[in-house]
Amino acid sequence: MYKSSIRPLLFRFDPEWVHHFTFKTLKKFGKTAAFKSFVRKNFRVEDSRLEREVFGLKFKNPVGLAAGFDKDAKLFQELSDLGFGFIEIGTVTPKPQPGNEKKRLFRLKEDGAIINRMGFNNDGVEAAVERLKKNKNVLIGGNIGKNKITPNENAVDDYKICFEALYNYVNYFVVNVSSPNTPNLRELQDKEPLTNLLNTLQSLNAAKPKQKPILLKIAPDLTDAQLLDIIDIVKETKIAGVIATNTTIARDGLQSENKNEMGGLSGKPLKNRATEVIRFLSEKSNKAFPIIGVGGIHSAKDALEKLEAGASLVQLYTGFIYEGPELIKKINQAILAKNKS
């Protein structure tokens, strides 16, 4: 229904306008009994065999929504109702910021992809906290970043502010130093500044009565040597795990007219590289830490590939936009079918 009827209509309009329209529609109808009944019947798969315990948290199923979709924690309950096992909000920054100038979101229909250069547009961490206070039972990840105006030498302070503000309202944290859309942000992926940042957050974490898992989200554009550094950093800082991967700046083999737009590329063209990174980290670390696999998952087969490569959980973003909420159901059904065989 989504791919045949709804998507062709939505794809006639500007992607960012559609995003906001979808949010308003889900917000309006998402709490109605009719909507909840429709969703339960058509999208949700509830089965205890799908439950996963990863970094000390219990996930009702291993299919989550990646950061970037519900940046400001406006729709986490409605999105969870569609069948996601967990929702990652953000990236949030200490202060509100508008992000980059529009137009900044582009479909690459022929490639099953999206290019975005949003630039951490968000209402600020305090606004997200106010919305998360209403959360009752959704497992939430908090993806945190720095404001554009904050120089890299002061970036640690921005992450500390976000960590402290969100601590009571999220189940796990994600440190985002891998977005290509904030100037010089990826420099924080270098070994020394990254180790310092993660150690600082871990010190804050250790002082809390209960520690929250801290994950690192990495770029797919890292070399093997840089990925080996990531393994060392995880071991040294004792963070809980890694999310592999963020969007790519590579443009190999694209067909669409928007292929040369600046920004991060997500969707089908990222699938193989993201899986390669997951497999490399899993094998070279001897499965020393959990990995959340994300990048180019447009089918149940794609998700199973990520899990077989070493991911403990998976996340959707572009595939969710192209395939609709049926994709969540198909992945969970495929996992159950595989467990039977």
Given this model, what pLDDT does residue 1 score?
Answer: 78
Q: Are the C-beta atoms of residues 332 and 43 closer than 8 Å to each other?
A: no
User: Can you give the C-alpha Rg of the chain in angstroms?
Assistant: 19
Q: Which two tokens stand for residue 234?
A: 């995880």
As given in the structure block, the two tokens for residue 102 are 């529009």
- Taking a C-beta distance cutoff of 8 angstroms, is the pair 244, 292 a contact? yes
Reading the block at residue 255, the tokens are 């067909």
Neighbouring C-alpha atoms within 13 Å toward the C-beta of 104: 14
Q: How far apart, in whole angstroms, are the C-alpha atoms of residue 164 and residue 160?
A: 6
| CB 205, CB 160: distance < 8 Å | no
Class of domain 2-340: alpha beta
- Spatial contact of 96 and 75, defined as CB atoms under 8 Å apart: no
Retrieve residue 27's tokens. Answer: 């917000």
- Per the rule left: phi > 0, alpha: psi between -120 and 50, beta: everything else, 295 is left
* pLDDT for position 341: 63
Give the separation between CA 61 and CA 80, rounded to whole angstroms: 11
pLDDT tens for the chain, residues 1 to 341? 798 899 999 999 999 999 999 999 999 999 899 998 999 888 999 999 999 999 999 999 999 999 999 999 999 999 999 999 999 999 999 999 999 999 999 999 999 999 999 999 999 999 999 999 999 999 999 999 999 999 999 999 999 999 999 999 999 999 999 999 998 999 999 999 999 999 999 999 999 999 999 999 999 999 999 999 999 999 999 999 999 999 999 999 999 999 999 999 999 999 999 999 999 999 999 999 999 999 999 999 999 999 999 999 999 999 999 999 999 999 999 999 998 76
Supply the pLDDT for residue 4: 87
pLDDT in the model for residue 283? 98
Decide: 247 and 275 in contact? Cβ < 8 Å.
Answer: no
Which residues have a catalytic role annotated? 179
